[in-house]
Copies of this chain bind each other. A is one copy, B any other.
Amino acid sequence: MTSRQVRGRNVGRPTLEEVAARAGVGRGTVSRVINGSPRVSEQTRQAVEAAVAELGYVPNTAARALAANRNDAIALVVPEPERRFFAEPYFSEIVHGVGVALAETEIQLLLTFAGGDRQRQRLAHYLAAQRVDGVLLVSVHADDPLPDMLASLDLPAVISGRRSADEPLASVDSDNFAGGRAAVRHLIERGRSTIATITGRLDVYGAQRRLDGYREALTEAGRPVEDGLTAIGDFTEEGGRRAMTELLARRPDLDAVFAGSDVTAAGARQVLREAGRRIPDDVALVGFDDSAVARHMDPPLTSVRQPVEEMGQAMTELLLAEISAVADRRPPASRRMDRQQLVLPTRLVTRQSS
């Protein structure tokens, strides 16, 4: 571990003590004003605020973090390589939702990637070193050790997309099951007879639930669930292409595809077009996410809308609540008690592809 040495005293920046001297009060009083304590007289408060303004004082957060164990920062951890992150509009909306929830606070959002092993390890260090008050986790696979690590650090955390039916962490998820079911019900209503599906990786709980919804819709309509009509993808465009190629080879008679994500649907569409199938005439296509991709596809893609932005917002609110619980020294057991599992509704948006 060869580590650069960044030294150099904090030159020029005013300290609490200097503000106190300037305002003619004690250190404690300035601290109280800075932190908005009510136990300060109006007059004193104004004197301190004037001194703060004159000196351009900004509290040193390292010192604050050390003394108070508070960081005023939360991390959004993405256990994916950067490329995936940017490729999927899902993340963009999550981030925006988080931003909305944070707008009224003084809390800074930090985005960190943990794609590779190296990055993963660095992140683990970073978190263990107490640099954030809480963690937002998105797109976590079932076998990821990260959540357990967070639990052992007793660091507040909220996960997007439960990893299983009994998620120990607080979580926010969309109703993937109902979404998948709605998509397939819709295809049935449109008179499609041979409905295939391209899933995400099935160790992702949401992907599994969408598949469950697909099956449920078929079953409740009295139709068989045929294995040959299910292809496993991975929510990427490339995966969509691969899966669609497989499906077409196995079941050239298919006339509808429910894709586990819009991006997957884009990949599938390419293959369908190359195979000379018209959409929706020959094959109806439904995606999931209702992202920009869906709107710009040709023809525009029917898709299941997840309230992604709201999910980001909800996650943040849960996290802030848990952070205050820690701050109020509520015992871990009690905090574990009311960890919420939020499930937000999905909605089918019909367009020309089906």
Contacts known (A111-B111, A112-B110); A3 close to B61, Cβ less than 8 A: no
A–B Cβ pairs within 8 angstroms, 26 of them: A1-B34, A1-B35, A3-B35, A3-B72, A3-B106, A4-B327, A6-B68, A8-B327, A9-B69, A13-B128, A58-B128, A60-B66, A60-B129, A61-B126, A61-B129, A61-B131, A73-B126, A73-B131, A86-B92, A106-B122, A108-B126, A109-B112, A109-B113, A110-B110, A110-B112, A111-B111
CB proximity to B under 8 Å, residues A140-174: 154
Tell me the dominant secondary structure on chain A's binding face.
Answer: mixed
Contact with B along A284-300 (1 / 0, CB 8 A): 00000000100000000
Contact of A86 among B7, B10, B86, B133 (CB under 8 A): B86
A223 at the interface (CB under 8 A from B): no
- Tell me whether B95 and A86 are in contact (CB under 8 A): yes
Residues of B within 8 A of A95 (CB): 82, 86, 113
- Tell me whether B108 and A70 are in contact (CB under 8 A): no
Residues of B within 8 A of A8 (CB): 69, 326-327, 329
Centre residue among A3, A63, A87 by max chain B CB count within 10 A: A3
- Tell me whether B99 and A92 are in contact (CB under 8 A): no
- Tell me whether A6 and B327 are in contact (CB under 8 A): yes
- Tell me whether B106 and A7 are in contact (CB under 8 A): no
A59 at the interface (CB under 8 A from B): yes
Interface size on A, residues (CB 8 A): 69
Residues of A within 8 A of B (CB): 1-10, 12-13, 34-36, 58-63, 65-66, 68-73, 82-83, 85-87, 89, 91-92, 95-96, 99, 103, 105-106, 108-113, 116, 118-119, 122-123, 125-126, 128-131, 133, 154, 292, 320, 323-324, 326-327, 329
